[in-house]
C-alpha cells in the first residue's frame, strides 16, 4: 500500500471491519425501502427472480472487480482509475469510470437524504403515538400529508445531510466502525420479529406468493432493467463507493469470500423486508403492492399501530432504517471527498461542505417532485423518478459495464491473478469468465432493451 494513501485515509483494522463497512454501505434504503416498492411496482415474483439472477451473475462478479480496482489503485476512485489505467498504458477515456462515479453518487445522495429524512420523521411520529391503532387509510393520509409539506421534508432532509457530512468529516474508518457493528445485528433481529408478526397477523401466504410466484406477464423490459439497476444499487456498485472502500482493504484479504458474504447478507435483508411488508399489504385491501415510494412508510405504521408495544418497535424500526441509510449515505459522499482532498488539496471539511451542499440543493428537486412539481414530467417521470432512472437504470449499469470490461479485458491477467493470489483457485475458474463474457453481455443487452422500452412508451 502506498504510504500516501494510508496517511490520508487510514486502512481498515481488519478484514472484518471491511466486511462490516461494506455491508453497512450495501444495506440501506435500497433494501428496506426501495426493493419492496420496485418489486411491488413491477408485479412481484418474476421481478424478484430476475433481480436474484442479476445479483448472482452480474452484481457479485462486478463487486469483486470493483474492489479489485480500488485495492490496486489505492486512492479515490478517480485517481485509482488514473493509476490503474496508466499502469495498463491506456488512454484517459477509462478515467471516466471514476468521474461518472463521483457525479452519480452525488445525484443518488441527493434523493437518498430526502427519503432518509422520511425515516427520521417517522421516529418522532412513532414516539408521539401517531401510529396508535391506525388503519391503512389513515396511514396513507398521514404519509400523503408529510409529502405535501415541502418545508418539513426540507427540514428532515437537511438534518440527515448534516449527519452524513459530520461522519465523513470525522473520517470513514473512525466514524463508521462502531455504528455498523452494533446496528447490523439489531436490524436483523428486528426484521425477524416483524416477520413473525407478519406471519401471525398479516396475510403471509398472499405476500409469499406475490414475491415468489412467477408471472412473467407482469414484467416489462423496463422492469428487467430496473431489476438489473437495482442489483447494482443495493450492492453499492458502479459509483466508486465500493472502489473507495476497497482502497482501504488489507492486501492479503480474500476478495471472493468477502464479497459472497456481503452479497448474501444484503440479499437476505431485502427478501426479509419484502416478506415483512407484503403480508401486511395483502391483509389490508386499501393498500396496494404498487403503492410506489411510500410503500414502506404507509404499510409498516399499520403494523406498529396494531401490535403490542408497537410504539417501541415502531420507533426502534425507524431508528434502524435511519442508521442503515446513514451508513450507506456516507459511502456516497466519501469517494468525491477523497478525490477533492487528494487532487485539489482541499481540506476534509471544505470538501465535505461543498459536496454536501451540492447534493442538498439537488435534493430540493426531489422534495418538490412530491408536491409543487408533481405534474412536471420528463419521459413520463417526475423529477425524483427521472433522477432515479438516470442513476440506477442508466449510470450504474453503464459504469458496471465499464468495470467488467476493464477488469475482464483491459487489466493484464497477471495483475488480476496477483490480486486474487490469496483467493481460492475457483475464483479464476468461475468469476473470470463471468466478468469477461456473461456480465458485460447481459448488462449491454438489458441496458439497450430497457432504455428502448422507456423511450417507446
Residue ranges that bind ligand TRP, judged by CB under 6 A: 25-26, 28-31, 105, 108, 233-234, 236, 238-239, 241, 328, 331-332
CB of 233 to ligand TRP, least distance (A): 5
* 391 in Cβ contact with 241 (< 8 Å): no
Q: Which is nearer to ligand TRP, 225 or 332 (CB)?
A: 332
- For the chain, the distance separating the N- and C-terminal CA atoms, rounded to the nearest angstrom, is 50
CA nearest to 70, candidates 254, 240, 250: 240
* 296 in Cβ contact with 121 (< 8 Å): no
Distance between CA atoms of 324 and 425, rounded to whole angstroms? 34
Distance between CA atoms of 33 and 140, rounded to whole angstroms? 16
* 116 in Cβ contact with 329 (< 8 Å): yes
H helix count then E strand count, the chain: 23, 0
Q: Which is nearer to ligand TRP, 30 or 301 (CB)?
A: 30
CB of 235 to ligand TRP, least distance (A): 6
Residue 378 pairs in a beta bridge with 381
Contacts 24+ apart (CB under 8 A), 5-10: 5/74, 5/75, 5/247, 8/338, 8/341, 8/342, 9/171, 9/172, 9/173, 9/247, 9/248, 9/338, 10/171, 10/172, 10/173, 10/174, 10/248
CB of 28 to ligand TRP, least distance (A): 3
Distance between CA atoms of 443 and 361, rounded to whole angstroms? 32
Q: Which is nearer to ligand TRP, 241 or 277 (CB)?
A: 241
CB of 265 to ligand TRP, least distance (A): 12
Q: Which is nearer to ligand TRP, 113 or 316 (CB)?
A: 113
Q: Which is nearer to ligand TRP, 27 or 316 (CB)?
A: 27
Q: Which is nearer to ligand TRP, 5 or 328 (CB)?
A: 328
CB of 117 to ligand TRP, least distance (A): 14
CB of 205 to ligand TRP, least distance (A): 28
Q: Which is nearer to ligand TRP, 176 or 311 (CB)?
A: 176
The residue whose Cβ lies closest to ligand TRP is: 30
CB of 201 to ligand TRP, least distance (A): 27
CB of 298 to ligand TRP, least distance (A): 19
Distance between CA atoms of 331 and 335, rounded to whole angstroms? 7
Gyration radius (Cα) of the chain, Å: 21
* 105 in Cβ contact with 333 (< 8 Å): yes
Q: Which is nearer to ligand TRP, 388 or 419 (CB)?
A: 388
CB of 242 to ligand TRP, least distance (A): 7
CB of 137 to ligand TRP, least distance (A): 29
Q: Is 378 helix (H, G, I), strand (E, B) or coil?
A: strand
CB of 356 to ligand TRP, least distance (A): 15
CA nearest to 327, candidates 14, 20, 107, 72: 20
Residue 381 pairs in a beta bridge with 378
Q: Which residues contact 192 (CB under 8 A, 6 or more apart)?
A: 272
Q: Which is nearer to ligand TRP, 236 or 299 (CB)?
A: 236
Mark out the alpha helices in 27-148 (DSSP H runs). Answer: 29, 35-41, 45-54, 60-73, 77-87, 96-127, 136-148
Q: Which is nearer to ligand TRP, 95 or 267 (CB)?
A: 267
Q: Which is nearer to ligand TRP, 307 or 396 (CB)?
A: 396
CA nearest to 251, candidates 403, 67, 78: 67
Amino acid at each position: 500500500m502506498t504510504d500516501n494513501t494510508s496517511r490520508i485515509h487510514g486502512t481498515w483494522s481488519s478484514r472484518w471491519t471491511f466486511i462490516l463497512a461494506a455491508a453497512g454501505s450495501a444495506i440501506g434504503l435500497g433494501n428496506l425501502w426501495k426493493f419492496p416498492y420496485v418489486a411491488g411496482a413491477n408485479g412481484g415474483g418474476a421481478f424478484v427472480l430476475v433481480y436474484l439472477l442479476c445479483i448472482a451473475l452480474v452484481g457479485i462478479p462486478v463487486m469483486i472487480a470493483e474492489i479489485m480496482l480500488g485495492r490496486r489503485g489505492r486512492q479515490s476512485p478517480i485517481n485509482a482509475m488514473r493509476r490503474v489505467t496508466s499502469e495498463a498504458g491506456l488512454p484517459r477515456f477509462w478515467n471516466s469510470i471514476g468521474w461518472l462515479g463521483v457525479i452519480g453518487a452525488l445525484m443518488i445522495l441527493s434523493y437518498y437524504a430526502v427519503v432518509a429524512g422520511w425515516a427520521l420523521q417517522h421516529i418522532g411520529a412513532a414516539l408521539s403515538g401517531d401510529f396508535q391503532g391506525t388503519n391503512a387509510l389513515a396511514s396513507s393520509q398521514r404519509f400523503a400529508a408529510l409529502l405535501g409539506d415541502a418545508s418539513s421534508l426540507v427540514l428532515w432532509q437537511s438534518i440527515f445531510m448534516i449527519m452524513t457530512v459530520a461522519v465523513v468529516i470525522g473520517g470513514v474508518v473512525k466514524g463508521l466502525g462502531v455504528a455498523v457493528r452494533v446496528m447490523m445485528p439489531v436490524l436483523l433481529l428486528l426484521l425477524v420479529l416483524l416477520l413473525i408478526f407478519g406471519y401471525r397477523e398479516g396475510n403471509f401466504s398472499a405476500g409469499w406468493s406475490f414475491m415468489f410466484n412467477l408471472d412473467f406477464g407482469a414484467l416489462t423490459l423496463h422492469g428487467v432493467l430496473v431489476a438489473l439497476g437495482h442489483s447494482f444499487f443495493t450492492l453499492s456498485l458502479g459509483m466508486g463507493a465500493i472502489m473507495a472502500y476497497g482502497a482501504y482493504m488489507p492486501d492479503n484479504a480474500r476478495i471472493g469470500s468477502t464479497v459472497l458474504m456481503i452479497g448474501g447478507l444484503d440479499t437476505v435483508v431485502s427478501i426479509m423486508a419484502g416478506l415483512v411488508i407484503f403480508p401486511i399489504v395483502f391483509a389490508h385491501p386499501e393498500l396496494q403492492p404498487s403503492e410506489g415510494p411510500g410503500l414502506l412508510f404507509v404499510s409498516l405504521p399499520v403494523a406498529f399501530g396494531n401490535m403490542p408495544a408497537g410504539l417501541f418497535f415502531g420507533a426502534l424500526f425507524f431508528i434502524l432504517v435511519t442508521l442503515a441509510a446513514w451508513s450507506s449515505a456516507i459511502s456516497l459522499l466519501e469517494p468525491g471527498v477523497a478525490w477533492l482532498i487528494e487532487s485539489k488539496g482541499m481540506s476534509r471539511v471544505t470538501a465535505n461542505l461543498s459536496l454536501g451542499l451540492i447534493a442538498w440543493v439537488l435534493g430540493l428537486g426531489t422534495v418538490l417532485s412530491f408536491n409543487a412539481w408533481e405534474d412536471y414530467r420528463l419521459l413520463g417521470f417526475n423529477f425524483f423518478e427521472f433522477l432515479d432512472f438516470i442513476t440506477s437504470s442508466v449510470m450504474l449499469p453503464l459504469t458496471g459495464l465499464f468495470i467488467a470490461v476493464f477488469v475482464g479485458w483491459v487489466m493484464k491477467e497477471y495483475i488480476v491473478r496477483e490480486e486474487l493470489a490469496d483467493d481460492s483457485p475457483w475464483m479464476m475458474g468461475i468469476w473470470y469468465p463471468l466478468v469477461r463474457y456473461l456480465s458485460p453481455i447481459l448488462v449491454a443487452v438489458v441496458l439497450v432493451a430497457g432504455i428502448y422500452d422507456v423511450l417507446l412508451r
